[in-house]
Structure 1
């Protein structure tokens, strides 16, 4: 179903909300949906203060479908318009409300759990008001419908929905994963990236990339991050780590040889960086096999 279709299904249900409260059991789940709902506010009071919602930490996604709402986030003011979504955490210095003689149609989901809260520390940098890509908006509406329709009946199901929602937001809003290339790169950035791809085993730093681009280091770094979503140093590191993981999976060379082919002179330093990046040493990465899609085929 399209986003329009699921929003229509939500509207046809009418205003409503469902809370999911489960007793603490043997298994501690680190992501959880706690409530979801849909509302149409008009001619009545609607006002929430982020410092008066208790001490238990949680997060809120509230998407405006029609009408307008107001948000004060710390010292900034926002008018929430159709298509915009609030990403808020609590307790926090925020307030959102409906102005007199206005209307506001919206849906919301509240989440908590350690993993959700950790991810929100990253998402705060792009909020508190965003326009969600269609993938995240579709996931948001479908999650809300699932809770309202009563299909979420166990803690595990609520946890899957919460984690999936948080990861979809991260995938759509944060600069990680594949480099986004929707917009045409300036020639200066293209020269720098070509240099990186063409010399994976050579030591490259931001200073050399800046010279290749024809800009000062400061201007190059600012332009690079503007177009690629991450700093040039992080981009370079990510490509090195991706190449290292590929070599460890597909070839049998020593860790030192892999390090050198990825631009690291010191194998011990390479191991330290690799572990910080992937959470596992290069040796364990190769030995465990958990990152291999299938065992390598024997040469014919």
Structure 2
């Protein structure tokens, strides 16, 4: 924080980007808060009037200070949130004048720029030392916040933005189709090249988009799905041979064993014995 807060009409009180979990602030937060949602879905509850707002990917939300609230994820997908708390005498008036208060979720036209701006502010603060107290550093942070708030303003998408949003929609549809194909055909021999062709992308571009969206490569997603199904087969059919499990998963036996050991730290046979012991112990406890 700067030595004299009154010298700066805007200044970051807190900033970051992370996977958000349940958080409760009965007394509110001391400054205005600004949120951006990258992925997942969550709910923001105003504890003063009970208003609930669902925050989904691409949305922004601004909340005033000293007002009780809580927020938590709604989906199994990680709720990836960027945030900044903004201190300064001009924060409230500026947010009101741009229509960002009273609180209501919306889709900012320049979402990606806003997301990157928050990352830049965090890097400046996190990478600083005593020099961040100097006037030049604090001025730069104040200017960055001012620019961020201007980019956050509501507005009608331009023709270029509309085209970009349409392209993003096409991309998301393609990735969702790829995931459906994997989920429906994971027991069959599946090549990443065939998946890419099925959704209309080159292999390299498809893998890059998939990794950015889901955090794993298409191959790793398929592999994880097969291994989870393998564990399910062991639990449902304790006597099933390992080679039959591999066959059910569309995998060669030795490869299945190697991947399984690398993932779980033991062979499928050892895992099956462990599962059988756990089931027996649970059954004995129920009898007692």
Do the two structures share a fold, i.e. TM-score over 0.5? Answer: no
Structure with a larger share of its residues in strand: 1
Structure with a larger share of its residues in helix: 2
Whose Rg is larger? 2
TM-score normalized with structure 1 length: 0.42
